[in-house]
Chain A
């Protein structure tokens, strides 16, 4: 039946078109199929990247379409690398990335290890723990802003209840010392479940017979953890760190919603500085150079890290 239909279609195809189609090789056909995707990628990924690289060497400003665009050579790069505020923003980013990753890895792995014990109701608790990760960052940012509110916020009242400090004195988003930690707490609350999931996958991939052999050798629980669990789950932990590191390096939404980079510039991470330069000050050339520097930094660090990850996996 199918062959007959195919024959009918082949017969109905006009001879010149049929000749053309028959002339396409398998490789040609493959290119034909993937070319729309490649074109799309070129248009929305590759072209903007090269365009940004070009703009980074100019004084172009998107809000001055009539202005003559001058080539500045490396001036934008020199200005960024010599800008004290940029370095402060990079330090703020590094502080944020370090503490969020540390906390999320420690808490995430601990939760995964506990969930892996398969206690009664573990499936229910797994679902509950995963809820923050499923929420939109916009929603999370907004409701945490209310939770942190010193006059009506639940967080301030809990801290007040525990420490005895009046709630109006717990100004998480207004205080220079506390504001960075306010963001770290929210990011950790939201993304620890993600780290937990990856670690759980790692723990569940460890064959049971290895633990049985260790039991036979009378290895203690502690010994089993250090010699079996941790080394075998390490590639997964490292993968989680890589994903979270890249994500947090370019963190924007949560900071923007919670503090907008303030108080002052205390929580102004690199992405906020970049947005301000690009879309508020309209220094398109300058901000393109900044974006390229950030891209190279993340790309370079991620590459080094992936090499380390591969070494760990090969062990």
Chain B
């Protein structure tokens, strides 16, 4: 009995000791917060090298896109210590900088000789700087992303469809270079029978709850001539947001929604778009570039069946695309800032960035994307490069949330619910945004 008791005590002590040791070993584990999506899985894989090199363990907190902003902005606003590192959305940068959520990285970059000149300029402005176009850095560009398009190359190359299309529209069926062409292709495929299945023209963003319809509509509006403000007078929006060109752009987006999307597409964003394309429902698909590696690998629609194209040109030849993507920041409420900075230093390394791209992440480092082999490294690499050269982003002001909510409402009311006109929607948007900036004391 005594020996049994001794054995039990011994075992208990051993378990206690091993738990204690393991707790000590993990005391410096870093937690990285991001969205739950394909690139996050690639980052988990990549980060194993960091743990190998430094002995610092990595934990991850990934939240689905629909709750991503709510969850992590709440965490930052409540000065939570959950995240040591955060890959926050590009539009958060203003608020996060002004409210002290992120550690300013200028001194660290200087000390570690990390130069922002080594990164794609659009990503530095979009993901790192606040105020914009000033050398104040709050993040390291981590995941380049942009809205682009995929299409069914196998359908486009069918001789019978090519012939019919040419007869109807007078030009060869190919990836569109203008929005007019895009709409013609979408109309051509809408409700067409292909391999015994009804297919539709295009999947576009229409989601109401977070940012979907704004990202989609803006992607079109930019190329039609939409501007957020008077370039010579900040925050003057009348005649820019609601210019005639902007109105035409919004009318186009509604026309595309009405004519050529699959039934029930009134609340579609990234996930729904991927589903529509993967299930062979649509000929074209608007989505962020992060979805492309997954689609390329898909057995049913990937490989030779898929093609990629840059956001088309507007009526005046302007061509822009909605910027996505994020920078990685150190949370100022973290107790492990030193280790977190070590991670940033490691992540900025050229070899790590090259591996990041090979695993499915989108590197923003010039040495990776300007490598002569880059365009041929993946079928979508050229489209990504071309798209990143023409990006524009939504407001990154500290009040980005109410600004975004206003555009979500105005665009959805008009495009999906068909209430009022495009002019009404954009006039209303000017009114809402003016109110937000007045509340902020900026007007």
Given known pairs A63-B73, A66-B99, the reply for A264 and B262 (CB within 8 Å) is: no
Other-chain residue from B98, B401, B419 in contact with A280 (beta carbon distance below 8 A): B401
Other-chain residue from A63, A171, A265 in contact with B413 (beta carbon distance below 8 A): A265
Q: How far is the CA of A176 from the CA of B74 in the complex (A)?
A: 33
Q: What is the 8 Å Cβ interface bit string for chain A, positions 42-70, against chain B (1 contact, 0 not)?
A: 00000000000000000100111110000
Question: Contact between A59 and B209 (Cβ–Cβ < 8 Å)?
Answer: no
Question: Contact between B264 and A150 (Cβ–Cβ < 8 Å)?
Answer: yes
Nearest CB in chain A: distance from B422 CB, A: 14
Q: How far is the CA of A65 from the CA of B333 in the complex (A)?
A: 14
Given known pairs A63-B95, A281-B405, the reply for A173 and B208 (CB within 8 Å) is: no
Residues on B with C-beta less than 8 A from A260 are 208-209, 267
Question: Contact between A150 and B208 (Cβ–Cβ < 8 Å)?
Answer: no
Binding site for B on A (CB under 8 A): 59, 62-66, 85, 149-151, 168-169, 171, 173-174, 176, 259-266, 276, 279-283
Residues on B with C-beta less than 8 A from A266 are 417
6 A-B pairs in the complex with CB atoms less than 8 angstroms apart: A65-B77, A151-B263, A262-B417, A264-B208, A280-B69, A281-B405
Question: Contact between B401 and A282 (Cβ–Cβ < 8 Å)?
Answer: yes
Residues on A with C-beta less than 8 A from B209 are 260-261
Question: CB-nearest residue of chain B relative to A282?
Answer: B401
Question: Contact between B77 and A63 (Cβ–Cβ < 8 Å)?
Answer: yes
Residues on B with C-beta less than 8 A from A264 are 208, 409, 412-414, 416-419
Q: Is B70 an interface residue (CB 8 A)?
A: yes
Q: How far is the CA of A151 from the CA of B404 in the complex (A)?
A: 31
Nearest CB in chain B: distance from A51 CB, A: 15
Residues on B with C-beta less than 8 A from A151 are 262-264, 281
Q: What is the 8 Å Cβ interface bit string for chain B, positions 63-107, against chain A (1 contact, 0 not)?
A: 000000110011001010000000000000001001110000000
A contact face: mostly helix, strand, loop, or mixed: loop
Question: Contact between B412 and A281 (Cβ–Cβ < 8 Å)?
Answer: no
Most chain B CB atoms below 10 A, which of A63, A151, A282: A63
Given known pairs A64-B99, A66-B100, A264-B412, the reply for A176 and B263 (CB within 8 Å) is: no
**Beyond A63-B99, A265-B413, 14 extra complex contacts between A and B, CB < 8 Å:** A59-B439, A62-B77, A85-B409, A151-B262, A151-B263, A173-B266, A174-B264, A176-B417, A263-B412, A264-B416, A264-B417, A279-B74, A280-B70, A281-B402
Other-chain residue from B262, B401, B413, B414 in contact with A281 (beta carbon distance below 8 A): B401
CB-CB nearest 4 A-B residue pairs: A264-B417, A174-B266, A281-B402, A264-B413
Question: Contact between B266 and A263 (Cβ–Cβ < 8 Å)?
Answer: yes
Question: Contact between A171 and B70 (Cβ–Cβ < 8 Å)?
Answer: no
Question: CB-nearest residue of chain B relative to A286?
Answer: B439
Most chain B CB atoms below 10 A, which of A64, A66, A171, A280: A280
Residues on A with C-beta less than 8 A from B100 are 66
Q: Is B181 an interface residue (CB 8 A)?
A: no
Q: How far is the CA of A264 from the CA of B418 in the complex (A)?
A: 8
Nearest CB in chain A: distance from B82 CB, A: 17
Question: Contact between A176 and B77 (Cβ–Cβ < 8 Å)?
Answer: no
Q: How far is the CA of A246 from the CA of B429 in the complex (A)?
A: 34
Q: Is B121 an interface residue (CB 8 A)?
A: no
Question: CB-nearest residue of chain A relative to B96?
Answer: A63
Question: Contact between A262 and B401 (Cβ–Cβ < 8 Å)?
Answer: no
Q: How far is the CA of A109 from the CA of B268 in the complex (A)?
A: 39
Question: Contact between A176 and B73 (Cβ–Cβ < 8 Å)?
Answer: no
Q: How far is the CA of A265 from the CA of B413 in the complex (A)?
A: 6
Residues on B with C-beta less than 8 A from A171 are 263-264, 266
Q: How far is the CA of A65 from the CA of B332 in the complex (A)?
A: 14
Question: CB-nearest residue of chain A relative to B436?
Answer: A281
Other-chain residue from B74, B262, B402, B413 in contact with A283 (beta carbon distance below 8 A): B402
Binding site for A on B (CB under 8 A): 69-70, 73-74, 77, 79, 95, 98-100, 198, 208-209, 262-267, 281, 398, 401-402, 404-405, 409, 412-414, 416-419, 439
Question: Contact between B266 and A63 (Cβ–Cβ < 8 Å)?
Answer: no
Question: Contact between A265 and B417 (Cβ–Cβ < 8 Å)?
Answer: yes
Question: Contact between B77 and A265 (Cβ–Cβ < 8 Å)?
Answer: no
Question: CB-nearest residue of chain B relative to A166?
Answer: B263
Question: CB-nearest residue of chain B relative to A169?
Answer: B263
Question: CB-nearest residue of chain B relative to A167?
Answer: B263
Question: Contact between A262 and B264 (Cβ–Cβ < 8 Å)?
Answer: no
Question: Contact between B412 and A265 (Cβ–Cβ < 8 Å)?
Answer: yes
Question: Contact between A168 and B263 (Cβ–Cβ < 8 Å)?
Answer: yes
Other-chain residue from A64, A85, A150, A280 in contact with B398 (beta carbon distance below 8 A): A64
Nearest CB in chain A: distance from B442 CB, A: 13
Given known pairs A63-B95, A63-B401, the reply for A263 and B416 (CB within 8 Å) is: yes
Given known pairs A62-B77, A151-B264, A276-B405, the reply for A262 and B70 (CB within 8 Å) is: no
Residues on B with C-beta less than 8 A from A282 are 73, 77, 401-402
Nearest CB in chain A: distance from B401 CB, A: 5
Residues on B with C-beta less than 8 A from A168 are 198, 263-264
Question: Contact between B401 and A174 (Cβ–Cβ < 8 Å)?
Answer: no
Q: How far is the CA of A62 from the CA of B74 in the complex (A)?
A: 9
Nearest CB in chain B: distance from A176 CB, A: 5
Question: Contact between A280 and B405 (Cβ–Cβ < 8 Å)?
Answer: yes
Other-chain residue from B70, B79, B281, B409 in contact with A279 (beta carbon distance below 8 A): B70
Question: Contact between B262 and A174 (Cβ–Cβ < 8 Å)?
Answer: no
Residues on A with C-beta less than 8 A from B404 are 280
Q: How far is the CA of A259 from the CA of B95 in the complex (A)?
A: 29
Residues on A with C-beta less than 8 A from B398 are 64
Q: How far is the CA of A283 from the CA of B209 in the complex (A)?
A: 17
Residues on A with C-beta less than 8 A from B267 are 173-174, 259-260, 262-263
Other-chain residue from A64, A65, A174 in contact with B265 (beta carbon distance below 8 A): A174
Other-chain residue from A63, A85, A262, A281 in contact with B208 (beta carbon distance below 8 A): A262
Given known pairs A63-B73, A65-B77, A174-B416, the reply for A265 and B266 (CB within 8 Å) is: no
Question: CB-nearest residue of chain A relative to B411?
Answer: A264
Q: How far is the CA of A65 from the CA of B264 in the complex (A)?
A: 41
Question: Contact between A65 and B99 (Cβ–Cβ < 8 Å)?
Answer: yes
Q: How far is the CA of A261 from the CA of B207 in the complex (A)?
A: 11
Q: How far is the CA of A63 from the CA of B72 in the complex (A)?
A: 11
Question: Contact between A265 and B409 (Cβ–Cβ < 8 Å)?
Answer: yes
Nearest CB in chain A: distance from B193 CB, A: 14
Residues on A with C-beta less than 8 A from B73 are 63, 282
Question: CB-nearest residue of chain B relative to A281?
Answer: B402
Question: Contact between A262 and B402 (Cβ–Cβ < 8 Å)?
Answer: no
Q: How far is the CA of A59 from the CA of B402 in the complex (A)?
A: 14
